[in-house]
Amino acid sequence: MLGFLKRNRQAAPLSRKRQKHHTAQADRGILVFENTSEVIQAETVLKKAGWSVRVMGPPAEIQSGCDLVIEFPLIEELNIVRELHIAEVPPLNIVPVTAPLLMPVDLFHTKDYGAYLMVRAANMKITIAKETLTIVNISGGGCPDVPYLAQQMVGKTLAEAPRPRDLGHTLCGYALELAYEELQRQC
């Protein structure tokens, strides 16, 4: 996960990078959305624009079961919210961070089966045939987009398959995206 964030940071414009560094110690807030799909969309919009944001777990008082929030520098609230309105993914609520947020899993496990390679992130696993880079299985997870993602991705190559972040709607879908990115990095 940290590597994933780092890669996105490196893609940011320099001016924004300086701004991010400047605001690294500033107060942070969280953007709350209707559902995980909107979080994933908003994260994409904000990272493309170079903002220093992180996907995190919500504080206990607003957890409902399958949640992500976006942590952002509170001082940039107006700019970030404007950007999200333009992209038509406005947050439901904006809350200052008053307690430590939950960190997403950042451990990857790789299993080499010889002709096949499996990568696991959190509770999600994706397996490819090494020779063809075809996705042969997706396992783990418990949210209802997992069988859907498997249906859409299994049998396709890494290059052909839709990305979990484009089709997924839940934390399991997000974890599969991380496993997918790690697999791409290794291949």
Residues found near other proteins in the complex (CB under 8 A):
35-37, 57, 60, 63-67, 102-107, 111, 113, 115-116, 118, 120, 122-123, 125, 127, 129, 136-151, 154, 167-175
Q: Which is nearer to other proteins, 26 or 62 (CB)?
A: 62
Q: How far is the CB of 177 from other proteins (least distance, A)?
A: 11
Q: How far is the CB of 118 from other proteins (least distance, A)?
A: 5
CA 53 to each of CA 10, 103, 123, 145: distance values in angstroms, whole numbers, following the listed order: 13, 13, 24, 25
Q: How far is the CB of 170 from other proteins (least distance, A)?
A: 5
Q: Which is nearer to other proteins, 75 or 154 (CB)?
A: 154
CA 92 to each of CA 32, 38, 44, 144: distance values in angstroms, whole numbers, following the listed order: 6, 10, 17, 23
Helix (H, G, I), strand (E, B) or coil at 133: coil
In terms of Cβ atoms closer than 10 Å to its own Cβ (0-12, 13-18, 19+), residue 178 is: buried
Q: Which is nearer to other proteins, 14 or 65 (CB)?
A: 65
**Both tokens assigned to 154:** 């299994």
